[in-house]
Amino acid sequence: MSSQDLESLDVEGIRQQFPILQREFDGQQVVYLDNAATTQTPDPVVDAMSDYYRQYNANVHRGIHHLSQEASIAYEEAHDRVAEFINADGREEVIFTKNTTESENLLAYSWGLNELEPGDEIVLTEMEHHASLVTWQQIGKRTGADVKYIRIDDSGRLDMDHARDLITDDTEIVSAVHVSNTLGTVNPVGELTDLAHEHGALSFIDGAQAVPNRPVDVEEIGADFYAFSGHKMAGPTGIGVLYGKQELLEDMEPYLYGGGMIRKVTFEESTWGELPWKFEPGTPPIAEAVGLHAAVDWLEDIGMDRIRAHEQELAAYAYDRLDAEGDVEIYGPEAGSDRGGLVSFNLEGVHAHDLTSILNDHTVAVRAGDHCTQPLHDKLGVPASTRASFYVYNTREEVDKLVAALDDARQLFA
């Protein structure tokens, strides 16, 4: 994308759709750089959810009255819209969950517990989020399957030679994060999927940090399963997505049971309904689905390529500004490479939690800790890091404010 295209992104106009970004603390306007945890929600998404509650609040698939019919149509259309957004074949391949974590657990329990056995192998990466790492670790303990990890190199990228050695005919599933929430690394998920398939294994991709800020085509990637969350893509909390190939989902047993997901129930037996409802028991996240639909519309109106370019530009700018400080250690690939819109770092002599508290005094909101990647931080040799993460409404001036605030930390810990 050219610089002219990037300049055409009306960031100030976008910011006006987020009243929270106008908030002030002690006379200082908030600088929100914690988007890898949760993005803010624009007015059109809030309005869509409010309209549902004010105009057609009713349960879905349970009534023939007008309100229920309107709610049911909106809920089903949200599946269709998400399927279109990621290029799935249809709503049958889009299951709504609470978040990425529940999507991963759904797969692990419905597929993993039933298919894995001693001698099988689960291959992950060393940069996995706990949602993936802990889930597969526990499934491995229950089934006897071995869990193995693809190494990262000194640049924070996957060692693909090691991946080719590690993925064998004993591998049953390869589970990899699309974009690391700590390193910003963009993994070659298509290549990992191809390696899995060459050995008869399935692939699962954690797209929580990818779908919000770059075009994602599950057909092009070839993934068997792919998951992401609404609250990281300008949508509401409480809704996530598990994409799965239809033939695989049809063969899987549900792991949650109740109303809305059955075809027929007797006192002795039950049979399951059609996809995707088979995996969506009980009253689903109706308002959240309406909000997710609105968020997808909002993102595509801006353009996913433009969002990716904006984030990459900000991440590169932040990397260069922090790197120039001399006493800042940055983790992950260098600036200028294809990396997600975040920078994790440590300031020499200052713990990440202390630094984050000082930044908060300047109304700069960042994240400190292990970012749900404790094993990765162990490998990096640090207990925690500070993470600044960007989205479509962030600016260079906000990065400058972050960097300027480091001087306070230096003085306090001199």
Per-residue pLDDT, averaged over 48-67, amounts to 94
- The full set of domain ranges for the chain reads 3-39+303-412, 46-300
Whether 3 shows a pLDDT value over 60: the answer reads: no
Cα(390)–Cα(310) distance, rounded to whole angstroms? 9
Per-residue pLDDT, averaged over 208-214, amounts to 98
Beta-sheet strands, E only, within 30-145: 31-32, 94-97, 121-125
Which tens digits make up the pLDDT trace of 219-255? 999 999 999 999 999 999 999 999 999 999 999 999 9
Q: Which of 5, 1, 7 is nearest to 395 (CA)?
A: 7
**Do the strands 364-365 and 31-32 form a parallel or antiparallel pair, or are they unpaired?**
parallel
Pick the CATH number of 3-39+303-412 from 3.90.1150.10, 3.40.50.300, 3.90.1300.10, 3.40.1190.20: 3.90.1150.10
Cis omega (within 30 of 0) on the bond before 276?
A: yes
Residues 290 and 239: beta-carbon distance below 8 Å = no
Cα(344)–Cα(330) distance, rounded to whole angstroms? 6
Catalytically annotated residue among 37, 316, 372, 403: 372
Cα(343)–Cα(63) distance, rounded to whole angstroms? 49
Which tens digits make up the pLDDT trace of 89-141? 999 999 999 999 999 999 999 999 999 999 999 999 999 999 999 999 999 99
Predicted model pTM: 0.96
Which tens digits make up the pLDDT trace of 357-413? 999 999 999 999 999 999 999 999 999 999 999 999 999 999 999 999 999 999 988
Q: Is 201 a catalytic residue?
A: no
Q: Which tokens sit at 272?
A: 């399951």
Residues 244 and 225: beta-carbon distance below 8 Å = yes
Whether 173 shows a pLDDT value over 80: the answer reads: yes
Which tens digits make up the pLDDT trace of 112-125? 999 999 999 999 99
Q: Looking at residue 1, what is its pLDDT?
A: 40
Percent of the chain with pLDDT over 70: 98
In the chain the first and final C-alpha atoms are separated, in Å, by 43
Which tens digits make up the pLDDT trace of 285-312? 999 999 999 999 999 999 999 999 999 9
Q: Given pLDDT bands bounded at 50, 70 and 90, which one contains residue 7?
A: low
Instruction: Tell me if domain 3-39+303-412 and domain 46-300 are identical in fold.
Output: no
Whether 30 shows a pLDDT value over 90: the answer reads: yes
46-300 fold: Aspartate Aminotransferase; domain 2 (3.40.640)
Whether 6 shows a pLDDT value over 70: the answer reads: no
Per-residue pLDDT, averaged over 323-350, amounts to 93
